[in-house]
Amino acid sequence: MRNKYAVIIICIVALVIIEKENNIISRVSNKLTLRRNPHTPEPLGPYNASDSLIESENSFNYIDDFYSENGTQAGRKHVLLMATTRTGSSFVGEFFNQQGDNMFYLFEPLWHVERMLSAGSIGTNSSTSVWVYRDVLQHLFLCNFSMLERFIKPPPRDHVTHSLFRRESSKALCEEQVCSPFVRDVFERYHCKTRRCGPLNLTLASEACLRKQHRVIKTVRVRQLDTLRALIEDSRLDFKLIQLVRDPRAILASRMVAFAGKYQNWKSWAMNGEVPIEDEEVKRLEGNCNNIRISAKLGLSQPKWLKKRYMLVRYEDIARYPMQKAAEMYNFTGIPMTSQARDWIFRNTHASTEASGVYSTQKNSSEQVEKWRLSIPFKLAQVVQKVCGPTMKLFGYRFVDSEQTLLNKSFSLLEEKEFLKL
């Protein structure tokens, strides 16, 4: 046990040292990768691919038109950042969270839903959970917290909670109007960092949400785009969806570091012998890749209900050109990019002057983004290529056929690729 901690500490120290030596791009990519929140659990277990194919609309009840909103009319935008873990979605979420006074941003509200559903305390199964996710998102985009409240543990009292997941990650939930008087002796795990606030009054949160011009929600818990169709088509919302993807080999490499305990099997496969391609964990990887690909293909095929509403962004492009990509994302959503957002991105992507090689070339940049190549055993890279091949092809991630190529820094694994011309 003690050894285990020692190894972890050594790893952290090593990472810190590496971080110190990094230049501009690796700073970004470190932000994208290493900013792991210890409270963020892994997503739910094996996802049953047939779930999303179930044409069940019955659990979905349209909410009455309670706010008589007119999203389009008011120029109000509703943006969903749809990602999987280790794709830098928290960092990209900040691009919007930092927009300023007109933004209502929520960080992973579905965390509560997933946790309660997986605890089995509500009579439902994973095929119904996709509809629950959709309905909760819909309520939240309309500033109605009542459905989410049912999933918060312990249950809010009088719509007041001290345990909204990562409240402090949402600037709007820590602004003055939402900040109830500070209460001593109430333990709040997710308390505001910018000011001392009491527990979160969700009525105030809802009012703040209604005051704001735009609403953005980030989630890593929606597996398939098609399950959101009714939400995207809701006429009260001017909906935009940004799907964030990353090289699945890099994701695996990153997860093996971040969630080391869960990847013991992979480590032992890499060390000795064959990777059992029929293993449940490999199947899960394959399932995840398939979900991502199916969602992206649907988005890129631009069916009528997604036209001008879908954008695909690669992690690697954000890491290499953060400002440009942020501007493109803002432009796509139709939300004006503020100088606050621009400043934040600048501050968080530019190395301090004392760092060496501040303005690296693009080629070097790609190298930085591809650092994971040094940490993933070739055998595992091969497995990913095998089960995630079609996904990698779609997004323009090149295959390697030998360990030498994997480690060859002049061989870029990234094709320059334009997805939809928006």
Ligand X SMILES: *[C@@H]1O[C@H](CO)[C@@H](O)[C@H](O)[C@H]1NC(C)=O
Closest to ligand X by CB, 87 vs 291, is 291
Q: How far apart are CA 263 and CA 207, in angstroms?
A: 43
Among 102, 118, 128, 338, binds ligand X (CB under 6 A): 128
Residue 127 interacts with ligand X (CB under 6 A)? yes
Residues 189-208 within binding reach of ligand X (CB under 6 A): 201, 203-204
Query: Among the candidate windows 211-219, 241-249, 357-365, 375-383, which touches ligand X by CB under 6 A?
Result: 357-365
Q: Give the nearest distance from C-beta 71 to ligand X in angstroms.
A: 9
Site string for ligand X, 76-115 (x = CB under 6 A): ----------------------------------------
Residue 48 interacts with ligand X (CB under 6 A)? yes
Among 8, 18, 53, 66, binds ligand X (CB under 6 A): 66
Query: Among the candidate windows 29-37, 63-71, 85-93, 314-322, which touches ligand X by CB under 6 A?
Result: 63-71
Q: Give the nearest distance from C-beta 136 to ligand X in angstroms.
A: 10
Residue 346 interacts with ligand X (CB under 6 A)? no
Tokens of 280: 């449940």
Residue 324 interacts with ligand X (CB under 6 A)? no
How many residues contact ligand X, by CB under 6 A? Answer: 30
Q: Give the nearest distance from C-beta 357 to ligand X in angstroms.
A: 7
Residue 147 interacts with ligand X (CB under 6 A)? yes
Among 3, 73, 272, 339, binds ligand X (CB under 6 A): 73
Residues 17-36 within binding reach of ligand X (CB under 6 A): none
Closest to ligand X by CB, 90 vs 234, is 234
**Which residues fall within 8 angstroms of residue 292, CB to CB, at 6 or more apart?**
84, 243, 245, 391
Q: Give the nearest distance from C-beta 203 to ligand X in angstroms.
A: 4
Residue 139 interacts with ligand X (CB under 6 A)? yes
Closest to ligand X by CB, 209 vs 258, is 209
Residue 338 interacts with ligand X (CB under 6 A)? no
3-state helix/strand/coil string of the chain: CHHHHHHHHHHHHHHHHHHHHCCHHHHHHHHHHHCCCCCCCCCCCCCCHHHHHCCCCCCCCCCCCCCCCCHHHHCCCEEEEECCCCCCHHHHHHHHHCCCCCEEEEECCHHHHHHHHHCCCCCCCHHHHHHHHHHHHHHHHCCCCHHHHCCCCCCCECCEECCCCCHHHCHHHHCHHHCCCCCCCCCCCCCCCCCCCCCEEHHHHHHHHHHCCEEEEEECCCCCHHHHHHHHCCCCCCEEEEEEECCHHHHHHHHHHHCHHHHHHHHHHHHCCCCCCCCHHHHHHHHHHHHHHHHHHHHHCCCHHHCCCEEEEEHHHHHHCHHHHHHHHHHHHCCCCCHHHHHHHHHHHCCCCCCCCCCCCHHHHHHHHCHHHHCCCHHHHHHHHHHHHHHHHHHCECCCCCHHHHHCCCCCCECCCCCCCC
**Position closest to ligand X via CB:** 66
Residue 364 interacts with ligand X (CB under 6 A)? yes
Q: Give the nearest distance from C-beta 392 to ligand X in angstroms.
A: 18
Q: Which residues bind ligand X (CB under 6 A)?
A: 48, 50, 63, 66, 68, 70, 72-73, 125, 127-128, 139, 144, 146-147, 158, 160, 201, 203-204, 331, 334, 361, 363-364, 404, 408-411
